[in-house]
Amino acid sequence: MSLSDWLLAKRKLKSKYNLKTAKIKIPEGLWVKCDKCGLLMYHKALIRNFKVCPQCEHHFPASSQERIQQLLDPNSWQVINDKLTSTDPLGFIDQKLYGKRLQDMKRKTGLQDAVQTGLGKINNIPVAIGIMDFRFMGGSMGSVVGEKLTRLIEMATQKEIPVIILCASGGARMQEGLLSLMQMAKVSSALEQHKNKKLLYIPILTSPTTGGVTASFAMLGDIIIAEPNALIAFAGRRVIEQTIKEDLPDNFQTSEYLFAHGFIDLIIPRTKLTNKVSQILALHYSHLR
């Protein structure tokens, strides 16, 4: 067949079957590329794998609602103190009014503040659980975050059940000044009362866990768990290097570095977290009996 005959046949075929040369548009969000290894994944497949890359096990950020679905037994979640909201006691202004920033965050995330607290069950074992959400102002700890966690711990102490807090935070919320720093002592004091009743507290450190959260309740657990390659720190890397005038290791402030130096007890991938936590809870209850 000559080239002219082939072109003629192609035109007839397109005319017969109404073939179009327009590009097919793929909906946004349908495919996700791993930031670490570059693997292209179907979004729903990533969700089914707890938002962990199946090739390199990179842990994608997860919202507080996704954490609830991943960790707790189905239909066991009972939210508490969900109506508490922050005010603007200092009239703080940076690039915008703090009050306006709060309203924007509420609309964007559907949350009242940077933590969800409630009661639930893990493998049918009752727990009190707080889940921080980095989407809300970097998971920063203001008065409402501290108050909700304190009330959660006090309720757990009264009910004599374990406390679990999933940490994801940039630290204390600067827009509330000293009021945010006071939450470190308030939450830590409630945890001390919980400990005095010989009850279990497990913080789970996700990336990032930094600042005042690291300096308080994130490091006060009976068993401290972290996700792989999580950023866990108090001060920033550059600040430390400038202070001590030394270069820091490449893996400094990762969960693996902290585990090697005895700051955390376990590194558990998100896909195995529920089983491991349920084993710890079961051992705790068997010890009490």
| Sequence ranges of the binding site for Zn(2+) | 34, 37, 53, 56
Rounded CA separation 287/81 (Å): 31
Establish whether the linkage from the previous residue to 208 is cis, with ω within 30° of 0: yes
E strand segments, 52-124 = 78-79, 115-122
Q: Which of 226, 221, 188 is nearest to 204 (CA)?
A: 226
Is the distance from CB of 186 to CB of 150 less than 8 angstroms?
A: yes
Q: What angle do CA 280, 222, 187 make, to 5 degrees?
A: 120
Which parts are annotated binding residues?
34, 37, 53, 56
Rounded CA separation 272/257 (Å): 21
Torsion of CA 152, 154, 160, 165, to 10 degrees: 40
Q: Which of 151, 133, 221, 219 is nearest to 187 (CA)?
A: 151
Rounded CA separation 132/145 (Å): 9
- Separation in Å, CA 132 to CA 11, 41, 90, 177, 178: 60, 26, 24, 20, 21
Strands 78-79 and 125-132: unpaired
By residue count, the chain amounts to: 289
